[in-house]
């Protein structure tokens, strides 16, 4: 009888775990944020301008790799800044 109860608990726990997978995956992507108001103010664009890009700006906070989206000290609460992007706050000083 204990084997049946253990098997039931196991199946129940596996079912709960499988049901939770989509929630975990969605919440991982839901954490990304943009600050549209400041992006507009600074005329942010996802492409370089005159050879200047976010990757070469002192305000840029790189992502995990050199090609991943990162952040910017000038655009708070935004973690979707492209290293190939550009805005009017670009600086190297």
Q: Which two tokens stand for residue 77?
A: 């609460």
Total domains in the chain come to 2
Distance separating alpha carbons of residues 69 and 88, to the nearest angstrom: 18
Q: Are residues 15 and 46 in the same domain?
A: no
Q: Are residues 47 and 6 in the same domain?
A: no
pLDDT of residue 32: 66
Q: Are residues 38 and 70 in the same domain?
A: yes
User: If the chain, 93 residues long, is cut into consecutive pieces of 10 residues, what is the mean pLDDT of each piece?
Assistant: 68 69 58 85 95 95 93 93 96 83
pTM of the model: 0.64
Domain membership of residue 42 as a residue range = 34-93
**What is the β-pairing status of strands 60-61 and 71-72?**
antiparallel
Any idea what the Cα angle at residue 43 is, between residues 41 and 46, rounded to 5°?
Answer: 135
We report the CATH number of the domain holding residue 49 as 4.10.490.10
pLDDT of residue 16: 67
- State how far the alpha carbon of 81 is from the alpha carbons of 14, 31, 40, 51, 91, in Å: 38, 14, 13, 17, 15
């Amino acid at each position: 009888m204990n084997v049946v109860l253990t098997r039931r608990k196991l199946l129940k726990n596996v079912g709960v775990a499988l049901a939770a997978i989509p929630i975990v995956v969605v919440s991982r992507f839901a954490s990304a944020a943009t600050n549209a108001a400041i992006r507009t103010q600074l005329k942010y664009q996802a492409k370089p301008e005159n050879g200047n890009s976010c990757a070469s700006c002192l305000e840029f906070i790189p992502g995990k790799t050199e090609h991943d989206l990162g952040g910017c000290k000038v655009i708070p609460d935004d973690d979707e800044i492209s290293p190939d992007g550009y805005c009017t706050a670009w600086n190297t000083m």
